[in-house]
Amino acid sequence: MFERLKSMLTKEFIQTLRDPRMRFILFVIPVFQTLVFGYAVNTDVRHIKTAVYDLDNTPESRALTARFARSGYFDVTEYVVRNSRVPELMDRGIVKAVFQMDKGFGENLRAGRSAPLQVILDGTDSNTAGIVLNYIATVAARQSDDLLASRGGRSVLPQNLGGIEIQSRAWFNENLESRNFYVPAVIANIVLIITMLLSSMAVVREKEIGTMEQIIVTPIAKVEFILGKTFPFVLIGFLDVALICAVAVFWFDVPIRGSLVLLFGATALFLMSSLGFGLFISTISHTQQQAMMSAFFFIFPAMLLSGFAFPIENMPVPVQWLTYLNPLRYYLIIIRSVFLKGIGMDILWPQLASLAILGSAILAFAVQRFHKTLT
Amino acid sequence: MKFQRIKAVAKKEFLHVFRDPRSLGLGIAIPLILLFLFGYALTLDVDRVPLIVWDQSHTSASRDFISRFAGSRYFALQGRADSYREIEHAIDRREALIAVIIPVDFAGRVASGRMAKLQVIVDGSDSNTATIALGYAEATALSYSQDIAVQKIRRSGVIPPPPLLDVRPRVWFNSDLLSKNYIFPGLIAVIMMIIAALLTSLTVAREWENGTMEQLISTPLKGPELIVGKLIPYFVIGILDLFLAVIVGEFVFAIPLRGSLVLLFGMSVIFLIGALSFGMLISIVTKSQQLASQIAMVTTMLPAFLLSGFIFPIENMPLPIRAITHIITARYYVVILRGIYLKGVGLGVLAGEAGFLTVFGAVAIFLSIRKFRKKI
């Protein structure tokens, strides 16, 4: 048996790694993805492009503009001089916000009357717009307070109003960097795609180009065939995990606080699910096109319902139940916990157990369905 | 180029597509799944953040303060803690994402007008949710402070002065700030890109792998005819997906379509031709289906998701990455779709983006014709 397995493995390794472009893809894609997630994915809202339409042009209006510019949230990129420029700037998306101060703004403030600040905001990106609205309110309130204070307005108020001061601390990711959240998760992404998509295509390829017939006439057993087909991708999967860990830690300074052994153990458990799915797809597909499309039919929901970018807590409750069947969900929790929280088996055992149960069920189902036949 | 031969190839490809109902079905089902997932299940809004409270003060003031958190839709009170250990435990097990610790002297300080120090601990591992949750906590505390201040001023008999600056915001384009209005138009771009990549990246590579390319070579068929003929069926599927998406957007999710539907379809046709030809180019260059699938993923799907401004704003990216996004076609298509859907703008504003898509489409189709060699 070992002899046959060995020759099968040799064939598969040669086939997978023969093409230099394939070698490139298998080891460059993970690094590429890690870099993109490390650099491109940033949900912090800062430097909002802003235009100012100052019809008043008094020290007061200029002071307010300066205050907004100083806050770090707004970059004043243009001073509008005519009204028709405002819709143009907004339509073309050149700015996201326009501040308009009408004539009489400064005079009102000098007289201690309330003065309106008109704000036009691009609501296309609703999340960003909500945050920007908060920033505007905060900056305006501070300027308001300062104006009151400078006019001695506070003196009529009782002293010591008191209040609540928040002292916040973020555990596990002190500076709340989105990089630390996304980069480790790339591991799950890559392992899923490499093992599930490529392994299913590798099996179907034999059927499609007809070499399956040659394999059928050999004495190789079903289990040997499956092992031979999947093992190269297991190995590549592990290498990619190590590669991404290295880029995350040495290039992006993502902390790794937990045990690498646990991470690799969880990877092994997760591989049962993803290879199981890959095998299952290969049993229902006759062409690589079918295999690829079926794989993506599983990959998209698995990724989107895993908590990778969209929080599971915000999904409708029935969909939340559905996520319990998603192996990626457990794997992601383990990866992020190992990297950022540094917690161990004592806390992560439910996730590990779920991975093991789902993995063995899927793998058993797929192996049982898998036949060494032509159809 | 002879029309008759193009027709023959197109007919052959159509037969391939219809003979394989599952691939065709998946070509429709994958976009539908994405549409419904993004429409119903996925949101970037953060609410019901699981909260745990450690009330060291045990006073009516602290209970009143906690009820503000518990009553807010942004927090879901999960329980109470009596020690840091318990908080650590809850956060480690993801039972809570945020913990509020009310100090022993809370009520006394609030009553006597000194600042009460409230400690807030968040699980920073999900930086996005943590930042937004902290913002909510601060807003809740601020409104509580203001209410106490107003009460005190009232009691002292002074009428509080109104705030001097009166901010009057108007939100354009998406005035209810619904995230589905933001996501949906971008999603059409992602779907078109994925479908184009999934469908065409394998077609020529398959002929090479299966050996049927030899048969095609022995016919009088010319390269351009083969490529145009192969593109036609996938183009039809792509347009079908576009119809589906527009209908679902209109009738299921009620996304406002403020611009011209004709312009939307015109732009989509140009984008689709570019995307399909690019998939074809990958297929021609690689000649291997496994390899083509991987390259298609890296060069089309991933950028469409990550670098197009679909979810992650381009302005936040560092300069080198921003430069790269300029060669991502999905980026321009996303701008066009959002412009037509939400802003209702026309070709006058979108001319730059439309021009780029046209140039890209022409280059992609020209390159795939140039790169295709009718030789073994």
Q: CATH number of the domain at B66, please.
A: 3.40.1710.10
Q: Which amino acid is at A321?
A: W
Q: C-alpha distances in angstroms, A365 versus A120, A228, A278?
A: 58, 18, 12
Paired tokens of B359? 């140039």
Q: What pLDDT does residue A94 have? A: 87
Q: Are A302 and A276 in contact (CB under 8 A)?
A: no
Asked whether residue B171 is domain-assigned, the answer is no
C-alpha to C-alpha distance for A227 and B56, rounded to whole angstroms: 59
CB atoms within 10 A of CB A47: 13
Name the nearest CA neighbour of A328 among A345, A306, A350.
A306
Asked whether residue B270 is domain-assigned, the answer is yes
Asked whether residue B4 is domain-assigned, the answer is no
CB atoms within 10 A of CB B168: 10
Q: Is the pLDDT of residue B231 over 80?
A: yes
**Interface-testing mutation among A84, A198, A293, with chain B (most B C-beta atoms within 10 A):** A293
Using CA coordinates, name the residue in chain A closest to B285: A21
Using CA coordinates, name the residue in chain B closest to A112: B164
Paired tokens of A102? 């009408």
Question: What pTM did the predictor assign?
Answer: 0.82
- Give the A:B interface size as CB pairs under 8 Å: 358
Name the nearest CA neighbour of A170 among B97, B146, B331, B173.
B97
**B200 and B130, same structural domain?**
no
**B131-165 burial, b if ≥16 CB within 10 A, otherwise e?**
bbbbebbbebbeebbeebbeebbeeeeeeebeebb
**B113 and B54, same structural domain?**
yes
Q: Which residues of A touch B295 (CB under 8 A)?
A: 25
Q: What pLDDT does residue B70 have? A: 87
CB atoms within 10 A of CB A190: 22
Q: What pLDDT does residue B161 have? A: 61
Indicate the pLDDT class of residue B267, thresholds 50, 70 and 90: very high
Q: Is the pLDDT of residue B329 over 80?
A: yes
**B187 and B128, same structural domain?**
no
Q: What pLDDT does residue A323 have? A: 93
Q: C-alpha distances in angstroms, B25 versus A2, A299, B18, B173?
A: 42, 16, 10, 35
**B54-77 burial, b if ≥16 CB within 10 A, otherwise e?**
bbebebebbeebbeebeebebbbb
Q: C-alpha distances in angstroms, B339 versus A121, B264, B349?
A: 15, 10, 9
C-alpha to C-alpha distance for B268 and A259, rounded to whole angstroms: 49
C-alpha to C-alpha distance for B373 and B376, rounded to whole angstroms: 8
Say yes or no for a CB contact (<8 Å) between B167 and A347. Answer: no
Asked whether residue B162 is domain-assigned, the answer is no
Give the residue numbers spanning the domain of B83. Answer: 49-156
A-contacting residues of B 225-264, CB under 8 Å?
Answer: none
User: Residue B345: what are its φ and ψ, rounded to 5°?
Assistant: -85, 165
Q: Is B345 on the interface with A (CB under 8 A)?
A: yes
Asked whether residue B165 is domain-assigned, the answer is no
Top pLDDT among B80 and B23 is at B80
Q: What is the share, in percent, of chain B residues with pLDDT greater than 70?
A: 97
Q: C-alpha distances in angstroms, B231 versus A237, B9, B237, B369?
A: 35, 10, 10, 12
**Among A195-209, B104-118, B149-163, where is mean pLDDT lowest?**
B149-163
**B248 and B225, same structural domain?**
yes
Q: Are A226 and A367 in contact (CB under 8 A)?
A: yes
Question: What is the maximum span of chain A, computed from C-alpha positions, in angstroms?
Answer: 98
Q: Is the pLDDT of residue B52 over 70?
A: yes
Strand partners, A165: B117
Paired tokens of A362? 């899927």
Q: Are B205 and B287 in contact (CB under 8 A)?
A: yes
Q: What pLDDT does residue B158 have? A: 67
Q: Which residues of B touch A148 (CB under 8 A)?
A: 161, 164
Q: Is B50 on the interface with A (CB under 8 A)?
A: yes
Does the domain at A48-156 match CATH 2.40.280.10? Answer given as: no
Task: Report chain A (375 residues): mean pLDDT per 10 consecutive residues.
Answer: 81 80 80 82 78 91 91 89 88 88 88 85 81 82 77 52 67 79 88 86 85 82 85 89 92 90 95 92 88 89 88 84 94 91 88 95 91 62
**B122 and B201, same structural domain?**
no
| pLDDT tens per residue across span A197-216 | 888 888 888 888 888 888 88
| pLDDT tens per residue across span B174-184 | 877 777 888 88
C-alpha to C-alpha distance for B128 and B115, rounded to whole angstroms: 29
Asked whether residue B6 is domain-assigned, the answer is no
A-contacting residues of B 93-112, CB under 8 Å?
Answer: 93-94, 109-110, 112
Q: Are B46 and B135 in contact (CB under 8 A)?
A: no
A-contacting residues of B 137-156, CB under 8 Å?
Answer: 137-139, 141-142, 144-146, 148-149, 152-153, 156
Judging by DSSP bridges, how do beta strands A97-101 and A48-54 pair with one another? parallel
Torsion angle of alpha carbons A326, A327, A331, A334, nearest 10°?
80
C-alpha to C-alpha distance for B132 and B45, rounded to whole angstroms: 9
**B268 and B124, same structural domain?**
no
Q: What pLDDT does residue A321 have? A: 93
Strand order in the sheet with A74-79: A74-79, A48-54, A97-101, A115-122, B165-172
Q: What pLDDT does residue B341 have? A: 92
User: Residue B63: what are its φ and ψ, rounded to 5°?
Assistant: -65, -40
Mean pLDDT of B35-54: 84
Q: What pLDDT does residue B163 have? A: 64
**B61 and B144, same structural domain?**
yes
Q: Per the structure, how many domains does chain B have?
A: 2
Say yes or no for a CB contact (<8 Å) between B321 and A40. Answer: yes
**Interface-testing mutation among B172, B193, B214, with chain A (most A C-beta atoms within 10 A):** B172
Q: What pLDDT does residue B200 have? A: 86
Name the nearest CA neighbour of B13 among B226, B196, B241.
B226
Where along chain A do its domains lie?
2-41+176-369, 48-156
C-alpha to C-alpha distance for A316 and A302, rounded to whole angstroms: 16
Say yes or no for a CB contact (<8 Å) between B134 and A170. Answer: yes
C-alpha to C-alpha distance for B373 and B351, rounded to whole angstroms: 35
| pLDDT tens per residue across span B277-305 | 999 999 898 888 888 888 888 888 888 88
